[in-house]
């Protein structure tokens, strides 16, 4: 086994520079903890293990300030009780905020609550791992987003929907796992990057997991929730909308039926007996054949509110997913447009949801493609709480075989200006809750971890897990900064390693896009499992998502003038920008317009030549990634080195298949040759 693989970015490598060791040892030998709580115990445990491993001294834990100096862990309250004066008014912190401050020969880790102290402890360790000498610390941190959630798509049989890193760490053989140690380590990783909520089962809820909300499983759900709680993480469950029928033995799940309302109240009461701080339900309803309120002629608001009412007295919330669309579109029907669906379904319901309901909206209107427009629903419902949904698991972005560092993609989404309240109404301001008066807001994402030793299949995919947490804590961090932090914590500070891996990560999204789907068209993958090229895969599937390629051109006409009218779902001036061929950005051209192969891009190239160029170049770039990685041999432990190399080689096979099939397909459709005469089959 490889400890390095398992530890991810919490390596706590031995520090070798003697001056630094001496300096750090004098600062970190005592841990003085002024309150008592499970979270502070977690913080002390983490600091103790980490310091021991990095400095080879075991720090002493004290519970009072006295002669000894060291790291002082305290909440705002105990700071006051102990009359400690810092030059910062801690009462100004938000609930999860913290301060790290050097004062009175101590390092103070002060949180508004114990959760903040725990975050501060992880932050301090991040600094030590980065070989910071810890002098004159003066750090104030508060998360920009309130809800910072991870959604597991884990099934109780142990499989994971869209999981590329082994089996579930939560479930096996239709039971909750007894390996709670691994869940604790997951909680440490999540907490170290500030994630504060987790839903543990797949949003597609069939059969057995329907019963997670009953006494049959609640005692074990409790054990899991207890672990997460001590790391500041709230537990949620995905529910089956047909539960009143399937476990309540009612003949209906109609949200307006009194017996259904009673059912959900009873369920909620039961859950809170076991998990007093239970977060609430996440719901995929009337989506991809899952049950929902439509069966009873009720709308989503009626559907969600019955659950919200049941959870309300306990402080729970309902996270209702907006991934609702007609998944059986007929290719002859040019008016139905999946991209329109979330907005068409939900926008008219603005203001009808109770205030403990949040709508969860995927970043794009289709489905986590390598590039798509930002969902126009985000920011379009001023009177309804929203959270943004990302996908850390690389369903359409290489499945953790291919390298694709997603932080730059997520940043583009956060920085997108919706113009919902005039210029500057970016997505990040909306999720931060500073545009509309939301009672809840934030970000959720589908997890990329499983029980593989390195958690994420491809070791480099750990950067997406890490990056997701760091970025939603503060969307203003740059993709470079986050990459750097992650690399140093994960592989150490060797400049060659840092430089190489950083370059690899930062180029990887563009590379992946180059050899797969260009100009925002998306899809062209094998149906069902979604890996590898199949240009017409979804063109001839009942789950059609079309590119409409013919001998003249391709793309989806989503304009108001001649297409589906989707562009109109954006605020001005975005609607006009996308509507017009002149102003529509190239990288989304085929998402919005149907154009001839000879259409000239802003780069001066034709669409078809762009296709050929990017596909040839993409393969060369993957070869470049392999060359770069090989040069790191000996600088990275053997197991992680081999793991990444093996994945890169698979990526190269994939990239070549994409290049060859894609190019031959479009050469044969268009009859237009490659200017550079490269080999097209």
**Residue 337 known to be catalytic:** no
**Residue 539 known to be catalytic:** no
Taking Cα atoms as reference points, which of 395, 260, 263, 258 lies closest to residue 323? 395
- 204 vs 474, which CB is nearer to ligand GCW? 204
Per-residue mark of binding to ligand GCW, 342-371 (x: CB under 6 A): -------------------------x----
- Smallest gap from Cβ 363 to ligand GCW, in A, equals 12
- Smallest gap from Cβ 389 to ligand GCW, in A, equals 8
Taking Cα atoms as reference points, which of 459, 436, 423, 327 lies closest to residue 387? 436
Told to check if 203 binds ligand GCW by CB under 6 A, we report yes
Residue 49: CB partners within 8 Å, gap ≥ 6?
Answer: 12
- Residues in 521-560 at the binding interface with ligand GCW, rule: CB under 6 A: none
Active-site residue among 4, 46, 367, 513? 367
| CA 605 from centroid of its chain's CA atoms | 35
Query: Which residue matches tokens 């989707």?
Result: 566
| From 29, 41, 61, 204, residue interacting with ligand GCW (rule: CB under 6 A) | 204
- Smallest gap from Cβ 284 to ligand GCW, in A, equals 5
| From 9, 217, 281, 323, residue interacting with ligand GCW (rule: CB under 6 A) | 323
Bridge partner residues of 160 (DSSP): 154
- Smallest gap from Cβ 445 to ligand GCW, in A, equals 11
Backbone angles phi, psi at 76, to 5 degrees: -55, -40
Told to check if 153 binds ligand GCW by CB under 6 A, we report yes
| From 38, 77, 161, 539, residue interacting with ligand GCW (rule: CB under 6 A) | 161
Q: Is the peptide bond before 127 cis (omega within 30 degrees of 0)?
A: no
Q: How many residues bind ligand GCW (CB under 6 A)?
A: 9
- Residues in 167-186 at the binding interface with ligand GCW, rule: CB under 6 A: none
Query: Which residue matches tokens 């009143």?
Result: 244
Distance in angstroms between the alpha carbons of the first and the last residue of the chain = 44
**Residue 637 known to be catalytic:** no
- 46 vs 286, which CB is nearer to ligand GCW? 286
- Smallest gap from Cβ 239 to ligand GCW, in A, equals 14
DSSP 215-249: TTTHHHHHHHHHHHHHTT-EEEEEE-TTHHHHTT-
Active-site residue among 17, 22, 277, 288? 288
- 286 vs 367, which CB is nearer to ligand GCW? 367
Told to check if 284 binds ligand GCW by CB under 6 A, we report yes
Told to check if 570 binds ligand GCW by CB under 6 A, we report no
Task: Please compute Rg for the chain using Cα positions.
Answer: 26
3-state helix, strand, coil in the chain (%, to 5): 40, 15, 45
- Smallest gap from Cβ 406 to ligand GCW, in A, equals 15
Classify burial at 318, counting beta carbons within 10 Å of its beta carbon; exposed 0-12, middle 13-18, buried 19 or more: buried
Backbone angles phi, psi at 595, to 5 degrees: -130, 160
Q: Which residue is nearest to ligand GCW (CB)?
A: 367
Bridge partner residues of 138 (DSSP): 101
- 212 vs 501, which CB is nearer to ligand GCW? 212
In the complex, the residues that contact ligand GCW under the rule CB under 6 A are: 153, 161-162, 203-204, 284, 323, 367, 395
Catalytic residues: 288, 367, 395
């Amino acid at each position: 086994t490889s400890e390095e693989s398992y530890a991810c970015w919490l390596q706590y490598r031995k520090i070798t520079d003697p001056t630094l060791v001496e300096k750090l040892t004098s600062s970190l030998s005592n841990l003085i903890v002024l309150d008592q709580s499970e979270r502070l115990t977690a913080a002390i445990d983490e600091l103790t293990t980490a310091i021991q491993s990095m400095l080879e001294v075991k720090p002493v834990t004290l519970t009072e300030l006295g002669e000894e100096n060291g790291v002082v862990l305290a909440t705002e309250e105990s700071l006051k009780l102990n009359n400690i004066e810092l030059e910062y008014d801690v009462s100004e912190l938000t609930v999860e905020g913290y301060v790290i401050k050097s004062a009175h020969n101590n390092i103070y880790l002060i949180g508004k609550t114990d959760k903040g102290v725990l975050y501060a402890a992880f932050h301090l360790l991040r600094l030590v791992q980065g070989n910071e000498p810890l002098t004159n610390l003066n750090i104030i941190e508060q998360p920009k987003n309130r809800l910072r959630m991870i959604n597991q798509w884990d099934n109780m049989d142990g499989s994971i929907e869209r999981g590329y890193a082994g089996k579930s760490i939560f479930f096996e053989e239709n039971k909750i796992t007894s390996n709670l140690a691994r869940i604790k380590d997951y909680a440490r990783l999540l907490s170290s990057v500030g994630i504060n909520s987790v839903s543990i089962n797949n949003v597609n809820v069939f059969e057995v997991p329907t019963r997670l909300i009953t006494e049959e499983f609640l005692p074990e759900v409790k054990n899991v929730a207890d672990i997460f709680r001590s790391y500041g993480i709230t537990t949620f469950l995905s529910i089956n909308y047909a539960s009143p029928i399937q476990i309540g033995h009612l003949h209906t799940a109609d949200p307006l039926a009194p017996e259904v309302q009673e059912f959900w109240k009873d369920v909620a009461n039961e859950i809170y007996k076991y998990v007093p701080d239970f977060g609430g339900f996440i719901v995929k309803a009337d989506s991809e054949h899952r049950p929902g309120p439509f069966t009873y002629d009720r709308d989503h608001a009626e559907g969600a509110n019955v659950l919200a009412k049941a959870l309300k007295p306990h402080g729970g919330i309902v996270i209702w997913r907006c991934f609702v669309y007609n998944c059986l579109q007929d290719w002859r029907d040019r008016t139905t447009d999946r991209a329109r669906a979330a907005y068409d379904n939900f926008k008219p319901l603005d203001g009808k949801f109770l205030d403990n309901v949040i709508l969860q909206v995927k970043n794009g209107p289709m489905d986590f493609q390598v590039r798509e427009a930002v969902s126009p629903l985000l920011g379009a419902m001023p009177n309804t709480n929203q959270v943004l949904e990302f996908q850390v698991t690389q369903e359409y972005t290489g499945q953790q075989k291919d390298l694709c560092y997603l932080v730059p993609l997520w940043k583009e989404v956060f920085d997108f200006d919706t113009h919902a309240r005039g210029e500057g109404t970016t997505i990040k301001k909306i999720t931060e809750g500073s545009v509309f008066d939301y009672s809840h807001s934030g970000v959720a994402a589908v997890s990329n971890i499983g029980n593989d030793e390195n958690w994420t299949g491809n070791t480099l995919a750990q950067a997406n897990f890490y990056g997701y947490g760091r970025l939603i804590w503060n969307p203003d961090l740059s993709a470079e900064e986050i990459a750097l932090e992650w690399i140093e914590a994960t592989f150490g500070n060797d400049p060659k390693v840092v430089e190489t891996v950083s370059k690899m990560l930062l180029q990887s999204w563009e590379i992946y896009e180059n050899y797969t789907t260009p100009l925002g068209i998306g899809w062209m993958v094998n149906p069902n499992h979604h890996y590898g090229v199949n240009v017409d895969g979804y063109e001839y599937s009942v789950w059609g998502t079309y590119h409409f390629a013919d001998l003249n051109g391709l793309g989806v006409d989503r304009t108001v003038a001649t297409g589906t009218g989707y562009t109109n779902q954006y605020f001005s001036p975005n609607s006009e920008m996308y509507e017009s061929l002149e102003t529509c950005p190239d990288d989304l051209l085929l998402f919005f317009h149907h154009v001839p192969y000879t259409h000239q891009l802003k780069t001066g190239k034709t669409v078809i030549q762009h296709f050929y160029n990017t596909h040839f170049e993409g393969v060369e770039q993957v070869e470049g990634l392999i060359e770069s990685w090989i040069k790191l041999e000996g600088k990275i432990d053997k197991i992680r080195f081999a793991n990444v190399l093996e994945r890169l080689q698979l990526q190269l096979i994939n990239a070549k298949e994409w290049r060859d099939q894609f190019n031959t397909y479009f050469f044969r459709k268009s009859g237009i040759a490659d200017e550079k005469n490269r080999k097209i089959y």
